[in-house]
Amino acid sequence: MAGHDALGLGGGKEITLGVMGGGQLGRMFVHAAQRMGFFTAVLDPDPVSPAGRVSHHHIQTAYTDPEGLARLAAVSFAITTEFENVPAQALNQLAASRPVAPAGSAVAIAQDRAAEKAHFVTCGVPCAPYAVIETPEQLKAVDASLLPGILKTARMGYDGKGQVRVKTSAELAAAWADLKQVPCVLEKMLPLALECSVIVARGADGTCVNLPVQRNLHRDGILAVTEVYEGNLPPALVERAVAAAKSIADGVQYVGVLCVEFFVLEDGSLVVNEMAPRPHNSGHYSMDACDVSQFDLQVRTLAGLPLTQPRQHSPSIMLNLLGDIWPEGGVPPWEKVLALPGTHLHLYGKLKASKGRKMGHLNITGASTHRVRTTALEAARLLGIEAF
């Protein structure tokens, strides 16, 4: 990666950062890059993709299209991705001529739950007991101690998709059949107390910084609420989670922003759930509550700029805004929500609201945790979001 001097920021030279994917994470990356003076290029097949509509260049092709990839490489100084299911081979093709962060090899691990679990074990980070199921023989050999469990497709699962809870061997067999016998991972169900996540940013020089640990609430497999403030989690747990996330990043010489999601068990122990090789929904609060956001960190890792430890200056709660809260033919009561102190609305430029679709998020900041929680609960009430 080039350093700050090589970029010549403000020197009249057009420096373009590229991103594979045109969703909301790409849109927020584009905005962060543009604030720093970079030009941006987005490769996404959707003509009205959120990121493509605000970028300097929108290359409207499939992610594996050789001509589109060549065009992205031609205009870009360096290239990143905004979603983990981008074809790893496309990233590898781009890396032949341009710096790519994260690398295709790291993204490939995150795309396959079996490879991901093996990586966690190699890094010495505990995960739930599991079994890989790719053949009928492996299905028959599943240890009964793993039941009840959650059967997850090894690939292409996100936001609760491709997951089935099973209690018995018969239910397991039926669920695998329903999933068309694709490669899966069976995870033992554990007594969960809560969920949390850590976002780290690692540079090519090995420098690694982290955002504060986020306490998360999921509903129907989709993140609903993130709370980040002093005392949201026990200090010893925070320390273990940060160390584990950095170990996972170091284990693949990761470059870029990485989110690692954890389960906290009822006995206080910590187990890793999964990793996302990109900025994450749970880090959106950093846009308004920290001096350096997760998207600023993504720009810095991609451009080879210095990484500084982010500082959270305000307690914060993020509410995920799904299409469910959009009334038929109308919009949510933004005028009432934005009348509340410390509210920051971020909409993603999506043209159609639908159930479960991420349309935006609301960050709430304030001088005290009590004030933030009070405001967040009132905002949730106004929007028809279940209290937390």
Instruction: For 206-248, write each residue's pLDDT tens digit.
Output: 999 999 999 999 999 899 999 999 999 999 999 999 999 999 9
Task: List the chain pLDDT tens, one digit each, 388 residues.
Answer: 444 444 656 565 789 999 999 999 999 999 999 999 999 999 999 999 999 999 999 999 999 999 999 999 999 999 999 998 999 999 999 999 999 999 999 999 999 999 999 999 999 999 999 999 999 999 999 999 999 999 999 997 666 678 999 999 999 999 999 999 999 999 999 999 999 999 999 999 999 999 999 999 999 989 999 999 999 999 999 999 999 999 999 999 999 999 999 999 999 999 999 999 999 999 999 999 999 999 999 999 999 999 999 999 999 999 999 999 999 989 999 999 999 999 999 999 999 999 999 999 999 999 999 999 999 999 999 999 999 9
Decide: helix, strand or coil at residue 283.
Answer: helix
Question: Is residue 350 part of an annotated ligand binding site?
Answer: no
Q: What CATH fold (topology level) applies to the domain 129-188?
A: Dna Ligase; domain 1 (3.30.1490)
Amino acid occupying residue 290: C
Question: Is residue 180 part of an annotated ligand binding site?
Answer: no
Question: Is residue 36 part of an annotated ligand binding site?
Answer: no
Burial class (CB in 10 A: 0-12, 13-18, 19+), 368: exposed
Give the model's pLDDT for residue 224.
Answer: 98
Question: Is residue 371 part of an annotated ligand binding site?
Answer: no
Question: Is residue 157 part of an annotated ligand binding site?
Answer: yes
Find, among 165, 183, 160, 142, the residue nearest to 274 by Cα: 160
Q: Map out the domains of the chain as residue ranges.
A: 4-100, 129-188, 192-383
Q: How many other C-beta atoms are found inside a 10 Å radius of the C-beta of residue 206? A: 11
**pLDDT, tens digit, 9 for 90 and up, residues 129-177:** 999 999 999 999 999 999 999 999 999 766 667 899 999 999 999 999 9
Question: Is residue 274 part of an annotated ligand binding site?
Answer: yes
pLDDT above 70: percentage of residues in the chain = 96
**Contact in structure between 358 and 24 (CB atoms under 8 Å):** yes
Give the model's pLDDT for residue 54.
Answer: 98
**Are the folds of 4-100 and 129-188 the same?**
no
192-383, superfamily in CATH? ATP-grasp fold, B domain (3.30.470.20)
Question: Is residue 240 part of an annotated ligand binding site?
Answer: no
Question: Is residue 195 part of an annotated ligand binding site?
Answer: yes
**Contact in structure between 222 and 268 (CB atoms under 8 Å):** no
Biggest CA–CA distance in the chain, Å, is 66
Find, among 183, 167, 166, the residue nearest to 175 by Cα: 166
What span, in angstroms and rounded, lies between the C-alpha atoms of 285 and 197?
13
Question: Is residue 251 part of an annotated ligand binding site?
Answer: no
**Contact in structure between 267 and 167 (CB atoms under 8 Å):** no
Question: Is residue 140 part of an annotated ligand binding site?
Answer: no
Q: Among the CATH numbers 3.40.50.300, 3.40.1050.10, 3.40.50.20, 3.40.50.720, which is that of 4-100?
A: 3.40.50.20
